[in-house]
Structure 1
């Protein structure tokens, strides 16, 4: 059962006391809009019954050097601290249920640490300045909606934010981060964990997410900047990582998922020299990525059953690598438009399907100097390679190796100077064409080499042009080879 979890922004403090109602209005921007079933104290309309201790403190220092340590024990406690100045130290400890820490800091070099032990606790930090350190530790045994929440809004450079949540249902939101060289580290242990980065703007930011549980989710809504690094590790079931928008150059994304029903999805990456690496180990995994730019690198590794991959790009000099080990895997690599791309695909198992499309979906665009290497091992494997069907594409290298039975290859290349090498080992392998469609290689000075070892193999044909170099080798029984040149 999937629970709807949302934060009510304006009610953050209205739920606490009239004395901090004005702050709640100012903090509305720091909250998500739809967290209706959240049970932490940040989202409650009424505070939890019990002790209702309140601490409100404002520190202002031109010289800096303020220090505060506070401990609250019980239920529904509030700590509201505003710090203006530099080099301030703030430590908050809250034990119990329904406690809230509201921290507003303006200045540089501040150190803030708060620990909350219990259920339905909330921590909200608004930080403006450089080289600040924020540490949030929340622990509790709540499950099924009994959760702790931490929310950060950061503006500045060189800030270090560490959030540790354990043993229950937890939510962490970095709603707005503007600045460079910021570090965000999140560790979540237990069940029903979620981490959301709403907006990250700046360069050289480092984000590390570690989650442990069966309902983990990690979402990056918007990342703008260069040389940013995102690392995510999820262990459990039903994990999801979504990067909705990334704009910039030399960004690095490293996703590791272990469990069942894992998913990585991206709407659009835009930039140059970005690196994306996704490793999934489990069943029913899915990978998707769309990129606009040049010199990008993609690595998708899946180990399990029912895996699917999609990698698409508009640009030149991109590298695609997809490795699938298991059954019923499907890989779709689409280079919408570009040249000098390298594509390497390895599939091992049964019912593997691979589609490689260059100049897709507008196949009137040319695509030159691409290198495609495909290895399939198993039964009922299929490969379809399409490189332009209107405007000629030239000097492409396509290597296909299939080992198994009932393997099929569908080729469509139009252009000159292309080199195609096919190796099939097993029985009932096909290289289609003519009545079965595809296997159309049009242009001049193409090189085609097909080697089939086994029984019942078939090579039909195509080719249209001059100066073609064709080599067909068949070893076994019931082989048929038909080549037509015009």
Structure 2
């Protein structure tokens, strides 16, 4: 029996090695996930071992009920056939349940109460139910662990871990219409899902505490749903690869600071991603989001938050909201017929849309507050691509705000419509545009506002048949620009005192 326990420990160690620790957490404080469990499993003690093999041949199903109390107990179960019911209850320290289930319609109920306990389940078949409950005080390395491997369709897996410091691993799930529900209460919990392959699968994770993590390596398939709720500080969600169509991701990190969402690669069509963070110093990052007809919403409530997205594809919708001060949003946008909207409420906020290379897209920006900034760049300074037939709308309300627009490229950018509105004092608009048939409308209300060029000097509009309309209402306003090309139209209206307008046409 000691040999059997050693093999089990090796399996656990191999399956559970490689756990990551939240970057925001103190890596030295949190022990490796297998250390405590591996030591307890190898103790030469009076632990009991239960080995059961059941096989249902006619589908009538077998029933197994097991109860173990004490330390270092092992339940090694092998269930084959259909409609079997297995219940295992272990209380104490360092207990292990290992189950191999092959068949359909089987029910597994595993309950462990104590510290350093582990379950290892290999589930093959359809319409099976697996419920695992682990309770016990766990902190800084005194942990309970769950590892599952799922192969089949219509399976339901529910894991509940309380008191913190626990690990849940779903190393592999292949099939369709499977459901995984994980609840971790307390701090220092981790849910690691290595691979999900199939369609119409559902993953729900609820973590309540600090320094909790959900790490998803690969989600591959269509019509899959992922829902994550994390409440507390320094929580983290990472996804390395998502590929497929019609998938939905809903992530909510509430009532906490220093939370992170990191998405490396998302590819596919008609996917929906909803991200929400509530608190300060939170971050959202997506390295590459590519595909068509995707819908992304980002909401950050608090101060000093940041979101960064690179969106590549057509017919995508991207909606970002930041409510608070000192927030930043960075967006790389390449593709046609996309819609990008950003709302920032507060002071000292920034929006950067870089490498905006698009045709037929719409950009809408609203900033309400002081010392806010919008930077929109198409290709500049590498001048590689053009942007045509786009609608760019920016509205700023407050003082000392700035808008910088650069649509400059070798191929030129044409037939774009720019509507820039500022209400307040000491606001600035910097403009550089190359192309033909563009329509530029600028309206400033307030005092000491100016329209000039990017960096310094006069604004620049090069091309032909461009229409420029500038309205300023207030005192001490300034317009300084240069227009070159054929068929250019410039109309400037200034209402108030001490205003200056200087435009050179050639």
TM over 0.5: yes
Rounded to whole Å, the distance in 2 between the matches of 1:410 and 1:350 is 17
Whether the aligned pair in 1 keeps the contact of 2:19 and 2:33 (CA below 8 Å) is: no
Matched, 1:88 2:106: yes
Q: 1:168 aligns with which of 155, 171, 187?
A: 187
- Which position in structure 2 is the counterpart of 1:190? 209
Runs of 4+ in 1 over 6 A off after TM superposition: none
Corresponding residue number in structure 2 for 1:47: 40
Contact 1:209 1:232 in 2 (8 A): yes
What is the aligned partner in structure 1 of residue 176 from structure 2? 157
Q: Deviations over 1:307-344 (max 9, x none)?
A: 00011122111111111111110100124422111111
Distance 2:374 2:258 in 1: 26
| In 2: Cα distance, 1:356 partner to 1:343 partner | 10
Question: Could you say which residue in structure 2 is the equivalent of 1:371?
Answer: 391
Partner of residue 201 from structure 1, selected from 220, 229, 239: 220
Q: 1:43 to 1:247 in 2, by over 3 A?
A: farther
Q: Does 1:18 align with 2:11?
A: no
Equivalent residue of 2:8, what SS?
helix
Q: Distance in 1 between matches of 2:453 and 2:377?
A: 18
Alignment-derived partner of residue 399 in structure 1? 419
1:111 corresponds to which of 129, 133, 151: 129
Tell me the CA shift for residue 477 of structure 1.
Answer: 1.1
CA deviations on 1:409-438 (whole Å, 9 max, x unpaired) are 111111111111111111110111499435
> Quick one: distance in 2 between partners of 1:237 and 1:43?
30
Choose which of 116, 122, 141 in structure 1 pairs with 2:145. Answer: 122
Partners of 2:106 and 2:116 lie apart in 1 by 27
Query: CA 1:41–1:219 in 2, change beyond 3 Å: closer, same or farther?
Result: closer
| Residues 1:213 and 2:223 aligned together | no
DSSP-derived class of the 1:295 partner: coil
Say whether residues 1:341 and 2:327 are aligned partners: no
Equivalent residues of 1:448, 1:469 under 8 A apart: yes
Unaligned runs of 5+ in 2: 22-26, 44-69
* Partner of residue 6, structure 1: none
Given that residues 201 and 225 in structure 1 are in contact (C-alpha distance below 8 angstroms), is that contact kept between their aligned partners in structure 2? yes
Are the counterparts in 1 of residues 192 and 214 from structure 2 also a CA contact under 8 Å?
yes
3-state SS of 1:231 partner = strand
**1:228-281 C-alpha deviation (Å, 9 max, x unpaired):** 111000011111111111111111110010011111001111211111110000
1:276–1:43 distance in 2 versus 1, CA, 3 Å: farther
SS at 2:383 equivalent: coil
Q: Check conservation: 1:333, 1:357, Cα contact below 8 A.
A: yes
Task: Describe the shift of the 1:223–1:434 C-alpha distance in structure 2 as closer, same or farther (beyond 3 A).
Answer: closer
- SS of equivalent residue, structure 1 residue 463: strand
Residues 303-342 of structure 1 aligned to structure 2 (within 5 Å): 303-342=323-362
- Closer/same/farther in 2, CA of residues 361 and 201 from structure 1, 3 Å limit: farther
Residues 284-299 of structure 1 mapped to structure 2, 5 A cutoff: 284-299=304-319
CA contact (8 A) 1:41 1:100 kept: no
Contact residue 355 and residue 378 of structure 2 kept, 8 A: yes
Which residue is 1:390 aligned to? Answer: 410
- In structure 2, the residue matched to 1:11 is none
Quote the residue 2:248 is aligned against: 229
- RMSD value, Cα: 2.0
Following TM superposition, by how much is the alpha carbon of 1:33 offset from its aligned partner in structure 2, in angstroms?
5.3
Local SS of the residue matching 1:47:
helix
- Number of equivalenced pairs: 463
**CA offset at residue 349 of structure 1?**
1.3
1:272 and 1:295 in contact (8 A); partners too: yes
Identify which of 227, 232, 239 aligns with 2:259: 239
1:458 aligns with 2:497: no
Partner of 2:18: 32
The alignment partner of 1:86 has SS state of coil
Give the Cα–Cα distance (whole angstroms) in 1 for the partners of residues 122 and 454 of structure 2.
72
- Kindly tell me: are residues 342 and 258 of structure 1, through their superposed partners in 2, closer, same or farther at Cα, counting changes over 3 Å? same
